[in-house]
Amino acid sequence: MGAQWKEKGKALAADAKGKLFGKLVKDIMIAARAGADPKDNAKLRMVIEQARKVSMPKETLERAIKKGAGLTGETINYSSVVYEGFAPHRVPVVVECLTDNVNRTASEVRGLFRKGQLGTPGSVTWDYDHVGMVEAEPKDGADPELAAIEAGAQDFEPGDEEGTTLFFTDAGDVDVVAKALPDHGFTVLSAKLGWKAKNPVDPSTLSAEALEEVEAFLQAIDGNDDVQNVYAGLAG
């Protein structure tokens, strides 16, 4: 039983890495539209760093850059689509997708939202701020509060990875803050625009069972191949 569980864990980890690579490949191709040389393309340079951080194979990385920049003769047509609604227990959710087939994605997202409630455009985003998000890790114990003030960020909180910090900026300042943070002791891992809930649900108001239902719903959404980002209005 223990060996089977271990192998199952390995398979899940491999599947998760494969999905992450898929999302990053799309980001790389979209960024490479502005040029294949990362020295002249800040967005591409940032995504390449993210790809290297998760050990994406060099061949996969280079192929994605060439395809996005139009150097392979292939036509890449991805559409950006945003869906919004509620997870179980009225937790607001904004879902960003990149897809080459909008009808397929719409059908799949509707199916995923059956355990929640799919909303109409504006039904949830009115209670979100569209902000810049810069995730960075400190060097030599740098102070995130001081760095936020000096780099021009509006707020900060712990990032997705242990030890990292997520800095929030005005939508127009994300590049400025990302460029300033290294001067204040932080290595920037990613920089993008995203959605931050104004009134997130406090997890302590949900039962353990309810919280499990919300997390399972979010994991299912995030597991879809066309989904790039999921922003749940859940505090912490």
**Residue 49 domain boundaries:** 2-68
Same-domain check for residues 225 and 111: yes
Same-domain check for residues 64 and 83: no
Domain boundary among 42, 68, 94: 68
pLDDT of amino acid 161? 77
Same-domain check for residues 60 and 128: no
Q: What is the reported pTM?
A: 0.82
Same-domain check for residues 56 and 98: no
Is residue 235 over pLDDT 90?
no
Q: What is the pLDDT of residues 135-157, one digit of tens each?
A: 999 988 899 999 999 999 999 99
Residues 187-216, mean pLDDT to the nearest whole number: 92
Is residue 13 over pLDDT 70?
no
Neighbouring CB atoms inside 10 A of 15's CB total 11
Same-domain check for residues 54 and 162: no
Same-domain check for residues 163 and 206: yes
- Look up the CATH number of the domain holding residue 10: 1.10.10.200
Is residue 14 over pLDDT 60?
no
Same-domain check for residues 48 and 102: no
pLDDT confidence tier of residue 11, bands split at 50, 70 and 90? very low
Q: What is the pLDDT of residues 87-106, one digit of tens each?
A: 999 999 999 999 999 999 99
- Look up the CATH number of the domain holding residue 122: 3.30.70.980
pLDDT of amino acid 16? 66
Same-domain check for residues 85 and 180: yes
Using a pLDDT cut of 90, give the percent of the chain over it: 61
Residues 63-70, mean pLDDT to the nearest whole number: 92
pLDDT confidence tier of residue 159, bands split at 50, 70 and 90? confident
Same-domain check for residues 35 and 120: no
Same-domain check for residues 110 and 174: yes
Separation of alpha carbons 109 and 200, rounded Å: 22
Same-domain check for residues 167 and 233: yes
Same-domain check for residues 47 and 164: no
- Structurally, how many domains does the chain consist of? 2
pLDDT confidence tier of residue 15, bands split at 50, 70 and 90? low
pLDDT of amino acid 221? 93
pLDDT of amino acid 163? 85
Domain boundary among 11, 46, 68: 68
Is residue 5 over pLDDT 60?
no
pLDDT of amino acid 74? 81
